[in-house]
Chains A and B, each alone.
Chain A
Amino acid sequence: MYTQALDSPTPDVQPGDAGGQAALQRRFDERIERDEKIEPKDWMPDAYRQTLIRQIAQHAHSEIVGMLPEGNWITRAPSLRRKVVLIAKVQDEGGHGMYLYSAAETLGVARAELLEQLLDGRAKYSSIFNYPTLTWADVGAIGWLVDGAAIMNQIPICRCSYGPYARAMVRICKEESFHQRQGFEIMLALARGTAQQRSMAQDALNRWWWPSIMMFGPSDASSVHTAQSMRWRIKRFTNDELRQKFVDITVPQAQFLGLEIPDPALRWDEDSQHYLTGAIDWSEFKAVLQGNGPCNQERLRARRQAHEEGRWVREAAAAYAAKHEGRGSRHG
């Protein structure tokens, strides 16, 4: 993924040249219309660039912060098998963050700048990661529900109009499906276990259900970015469409587990052939997004601490590289 090092200042058009700008804009619109991919060095409207930087960075931050709730259980996984799987999953999330930061950088923003926005609290990340993982069943519920919702969101982004983002998503989606399956397998083991294990599984579903379906973002009526993002083919489905798909596939899975979705209003609607949920409490979503969730401060504290504690390593590596500059060996 090419980045700032390769970013030629594309518009040869002077700021005052309205005709030239209009022609570039028209060509861009036509390419989007033809479902062509936009690549880093191509001309793009500034609003498109800024929207992508914001979305890809938030996505990257979510992967990185998303390592924390599950990382909490690595040392306490109930078996060696569960432990190696969980380590691999958390490592994947780190990798996904890296793919996405690279994609964001192709738009001309520096990695250090993105990291700074995360650490000083300016950047947003998925609000789901501000909930605590209280029991081992939460690790199962996260894989099953949170990764399930993420996959639902991400598959359409594989066809996003911006090439580097689309390519990163293809890679991520390929890796993500094991995450969901391992989560469901944990839930299944608990659901088929003792009464106490079943109640752990139910408790985890109770706590993760609503935050998971809120992961799709505000309902279409109040989503500020959806219409424009759909015109730009960054988004292919609205939040409510994706949420509905997720509910429709997840309810039967819960039934298979013998667990109850914590929504007394949930019902199958014969006319629309969909499961209809009760009203979503958006005030909770907004509170968590604004920093008042159960773990917002803890998550940022953990990220800052990791960054500080890694400082000497980064400095040592940079010093070593500077010392050996020009003396490096080459391999074919």
Chain B
Amino acid sequence: MGDDWPLFEVFIRARSGLEHKHVGSLHAADARMAIEHARDVYTRRQEGVSIWVVRSSEIIASDPEEADALFEPARDKVYRHPTFYAIPDEVKNL
């Protein structure tokens, strides 16, 4: 059957002003074909104005097993949110 073409992750900008967002993946022989396939697979209904593709093997992801170590330190820092601070109601524009 032969090997698959390399895998690419696809990111689409829905309209100008928005960030590119991950939408899925596909196989393609090279980057240009990946863009063309992404057009056909992910933008049949004007879902985008710009496409990024990146080889999946180039993405470095955090390990779910380490999620606690990575994200736990932010959990008790509620003072980073504006609602942490008590301001009297009559004070405006804060």
Give, as a whole number of angstroms, the nearest-CB distance from A21 to chain B. Answer: 14
Closest to A88 in B: B44
Chain A contact-residue range equals 35 or more
**Cβ-defined partner of A105 (8 Å) among B2, B3, B25, B63:** B25
User: Is A175 in contact with B3, judged by CB distance below 8 angstroms?
Assistant: no
Residue B26, interface by CB 8 Å = yes
Q: Which residues of A contact B63 (CB under 8 A)?
A: 8, 41
Is B71 interfacial (CB 8 A cutoff)? no
Instruction: Give 11 A-B pairs besides A2-B25, A2-B59 with Cβ atoms closer than 8 angstroms.
Output: A2-B9, A5-B55, A10-B65, A95-B41, A105-B25, A112-B1, A167-B24, A168-B24, A314-B5, A317-B29, A325-B30
B64 CB-CB contact with A under 8 Å? yes
Task: Give the Cβ gap from A64 to chain B, nearest Cβ, in Å.
Answer: 13
Q: Is A220 an interface residue (CB 8 A)?
A: no
Shortest CB distance B90–A (Å):
42
CA distance A25 to B83 in the complex (A): 38
Q: Select which of B3, B25, B32 is within 8 A of A1 by beta carbon.
A: B25
Asked if B65 contacts A12 (CB within 8 A), the reply is yes
Chain B positions 58 through 71: 1 when the CB is less than 8 Å from some CB of chain A, otherwise 0? 01010111000000
Give the contact-size bracket for chain B. Answer: 20 to 34
Assembly CA distance A102 to B41 (angstroms): 11
A328 touches B32 (CB 8 A): yes
C-alpha gap A105/B27 in the complex (Å): 11
- Interface status of B4 (Cβ within 8 A of chain A): yes
Binary B-proximity of A78-111 (CB < 8 A = 1, otherwise 0): 0000000000100110010011001001000011
> Do the beta carbons of A317 and B33 come within 8 Å of each other?
yes
Please report the C-alpha to C-alpha distance between residue A109 and residue B85 in the assembled complex, in whole angstroms. 51
- 5 closest Cβ pairs, A-B complex: A317-B29, A321-B30, A321-B29, A5-B56, A5-B57
B14 is an interface residue with CB less than 8 A from chain A: no
Instruction: Provide the residues of chain B in CB contact with A325, threshold 8 Å.
Output: 30
Question: Is A318 at the interface (CB under 8 A from chain B)?
Answer: yes
Complex: A142 Cα to B63 Cα, angstroms: 45
| Residue A256 is within 8 A (CB to CB) of chain B in the complex | no
CB distance from A71 to the nearest CB of B (A): 17
Q: Would A105 and B30 count as touching, CB distance under 8 A?
A: no
Q: What is the distance, in angstroms, from A172's C-beta to the closest C-beta of chain B?
A: 12
Neighbouring B residues of A318 by C-beta, 8 Å: 5, 29
Which chain B residues border A112 with CB–CB below 8 Å? 1-4
Residues A1 and B29 in contact in the complex (CB < 8 Å), given A41-B61, A41-B63:
no
Cβ contacts under 8 Å, B25 to chain A? 1-3, 102, 105
Q: Given the complex of chains A and B, what is the CA–CA distance between A245 and B63 in angstroms?
A: 42
Alpha-carbon distance A10/B40, docked complex (angstroms): 34
Determine how close the nearest CB of chain B comes to the CB of A185; give it in whole angstroms: 19
User: Chain A 11-27 against B: per-residue CB contact (8 Å), 1 yes, 0 no?
Assistant: 01000000000000000
| Closest chain B CB from A3 CB (angstroms) | 6
Do the beta carbons of B1 and A6 come within 8 Å of each other?
Answer: no
